[in-house]
Amino acid sequence: MNKDTHLQPLQEDILSFADRLHKSGCAPRSVAKYTQAYAQKKQVELSIDVTPTKMITVFEGEHQRVVIQDKKPPSVNLRDLIATLSCLSDDRPYCDAKSYSNSTLCIANILMPPCYLMLVGSTYIAVMIAALLGFIAWAAQNLLTGERAILVEFFVALCASFTVGLLASQLPELPILALCIASIVLFIPGLTVTNALMSLAINDFRSGIELLAQSALVGIKIFIGVVLGLSLSKLLVDYTAATNFVNEIPLALHIMALIVISIGVGIIFNANFSDIIIGLPVAAVGMWGPHWFTSDWVIGTWISTMIITLYGLLAGRIRKVPALVYIILGIIVLVPGSRILVGASESFFATAILPIPNIGLSALLMFCAIVAGQIMVYSIFSERFFSSIKS
């Protein structure tokens, strides 16, 4: 009994370690892997089973203990992820990770939609309007918290598309659907879909199916919100969606937009500024790589993914931080999550948003190319990376 009492604080420390990893957005398979390594350092035997919404931990030994915990779907917090893993690599106590101020998050949210439009090409007036839509997204995240947070994606899509519809009655040349996509680009679950396919690829079917279900729910909320918002505005004012693609953004602003959106993504995911700067090269590969390496988008995506993943693993090994910190900036730009919504919008409204033919049909192939690229690199280098975190 005394031995069990002695082990209790140690077990709670291990459970807290796993919980922080899960909340920080670490993939389920990685949470289990790092937690087992942390427990091994504490000389505690355990078995752990992790999914996006549940964690089952079995502490082995004379006084066996089974802990079943329900988890909320995680959000990405890169600083907290690094701070948690430092307990494994440096064997030092956990310290709460700093977060960016609410005003800084507000600026990041406001800048992301205009930068997205500049990356895909648009007009100056649309870019200015997109900043207003970014403010709507930030306000919704602050107003809808707790149990109401499930409404954020739907509310932003509804309010932004309704606003765009009203403005389109006065500005006929406004790219309506492109603006709607820009307003919710932060919420498009492209990274979640990629992680889901990665889980399925390594036979982690429960995590893969759960992540796909979460992604589908978010996608449905976004799409229904856009459709309802535009339909409601149509009842009040008459407008016609612009059919011609117009790009007024020069190359210099295109490059600047990539830098700013990468910084914005890093701030929203609470990454250190130095890590954001180190991750800029993969953002460039994610944006232009599919065009640089080959004329075939799918093959270019596959090559770009391997470069992004390898860069993240090597940079993470050098700085002794998770590769996700650097990979995420490239994947967010590369992953075609927005293209699924673009394809759905084209099918529903019979209107092209971007000057890329059949882009909705190619989204699945692009996801598969991303997964194939990640699997190839991880199968060769992941164990070396993992050993660098433990040492």
Q: What is the pLDDT of residues 357-372, one digit of tens each?
A: 555 555 667 777 877 8
Residue 288 corresponds to which amino acid?
W
Query: In the predicted model, what is the mean pLDDT of residues 377-383?
Result: 69
**CA atoms within 13 Å, Cβ hemisphere of 45:** 5
Q: What angle do CA 132, 133, 139 make, to 5 degrees?
A: 90
Would you state the pLDDT for residue 158? 92
Q: Lowest-confidence range among 154-158, 213-217, 339-343?
A: 339-343
Alpha carbons 61 and 73: distance in angstroms, whole number: 31
151: Cα separation from own chain's centroid? 18
Would you state the pLDDT for residue 391? 42
At 38-94, the pLDDT tens digits run 888 888 888 888 888 888 888 887 777 888 888 887 777 888 888 888 777 666 677
321: helix, strand or coil: coil
Would you state the pLDDT for residue 6? 52
Q: Give, rounded to a whole angstrom, the gap between the first and last alpha carbons of the chain.
A: 34
Beta pairing partners, 49: 56
Best-predicted range by mean pLDDT (82-96, 134-148, 182-196, 245-259): 134-148
Query: In the predicted model, what is the mean pLDDT of residues 267-295?
Result: 83
Look at 209 and 96; give whichever has higher pLDDT. 209
Q: Are 369 and 301 in contact (CB under 8 A)?
A: yes
Residue 213 has pLDDT above 80, yes or no: yes
Q: Edge to edge, what strands does the sheet with 46-50 contain?
A: 46-50, 54-59, 65-70
